[in-house]
Amino acid sequence: MSKVHLVSITRAASREEVAAKLGALWRAAGLAECFRPRDLAAVKVHVGEPGRPTYVPPRVVRELVSLIKQSEASPFVTDTAVLYRSPRDNGVGHTMVAADHGYDLEGVGCPFVPADGLNGADEIDVTVNGKHDETVAIASAIVHARSMLVVTHATGHLGTGFGGTLKNLGMGCSSKKGKLRQHSGQTPSIDAEACTSCGTCAEWCPADAIEVDDVAVIDAETCIGCGECVATCLDGAVRFDWSVMGRDLQERIVEHAAAVVRGKPDRIAYVTVAYDITQDCDCLGRDQPSIVPDIGILASRDPVALDRAVLDLVRERAGQTLESLSYPDRDGTVQIDYAAEMELGESHAEVVEVDVR
């Protein structure tokens, strides 16, 4: 059973409190051991969508960057391009959003570098020998970085019920080809009775796979299975077979995560921010209320145990599972069990609260 360390903190904490608690958390979890002099150290974040505040506050990342620098490593903040229509679907737009949100040299103390290059295609194929894939496409800067800090905002998630460290590793570190592979074979359908022909799904479809007349129609051959139509349809007219989609998607995410974890044995540290936990991940381009009482910030060198700890703490604090509060027909533990099967970490966690004096 792996240890996961926890400090109680919220977004409203002062800069001094953030520094003191993150420093104590860093030392308790032994994260400094992952970084060495002259390392090019990737700090994987989600910079958020334009105008939305749910991403991890840059001041939190700034303190973590400062702690990495104490090991004489050279950190850079990074993220990968998205499949859906957003300024973040290319390196230039992504860098601009990162700067607008404070993820730049001034805001976090190190530069932002798009991990998959200008158009999301700078990638390296990595062998994983998984159930679904033999090889997976990982963003090149992630592969080349000698060490890594994965900073995650825990949320619910449309496709998996829970988005945590494993999702940040698997989906978040993949090139566009890798993301497409994770979604492959998952074609949604339209409930004609529920469809209002508003056209929102077609407007947001990154593959132009939807046409709208009396009702929306999805071209199965063109559809990439990204789920953007599900997220944007306010009428609930887009349907997936979640029993298949959720399991296959989570297992593919884990196989991509395995490529990252196995490539840096003992050189990856993990920090998860578990406050302002929302129904959907930070990719959703709209304001979202918190659905779970604030927990704090957690750290570990085991990504599987860290995700388990988040789910356990949500159930303990809220009295029900995160999936039941976000998407009740999803099971977010599939990814945890498969990650443990692939020996990426332990599926059970011992949570240790850090005493900050």
The predicted-structure confidence for 108-160, as pLDDT tens digits, reads as follows 999 999 999 999 999 999 999 999 999 999 999 999 999 999 999 999 998 88
Please tell me whether residues 213 and 296 are part of one structural domain.
no
Closest CA to 229 of 211, 252, 213, 256: 211
Looking at residue 13, what is its pLDDT?
93
What confidence category does residue 242 fall into, taking pLDDT thresholds of 50, 70 and 90? low
Please tell me whether residues 229 and 332 are part of one structural domain.
no
Average pLDDT for 202-230 = 89
Please tell me whether residues 146 and 198 are part of one structural domain.
no
Please tell me whether residues 104 and 70 are part of one structural domain.
yes
Please tell me whether residues 256 and 284 are part of one structural domain.
yes
Please tell me whether residues 200 and 120 are part of one structural domain.
no
| pLDDT higher than threshold 80 for residue 182 | yes
Please tell me whether residues 233 and 257 are part of one structural domain.
no
Looking at residue 234, what is its pLDDT?
82
Residue 227 sits in which domain range? Answer: 189-239
Please tell me whether residues 99 and 234 are part of one structural domain.
no
Looking at residue 78, what is its pLDDT?
98
Closest CA to 277 of 152, 100, 98: 152
Lowest mean pLDDT among 50-59, 158-167, 231-240: 231-240
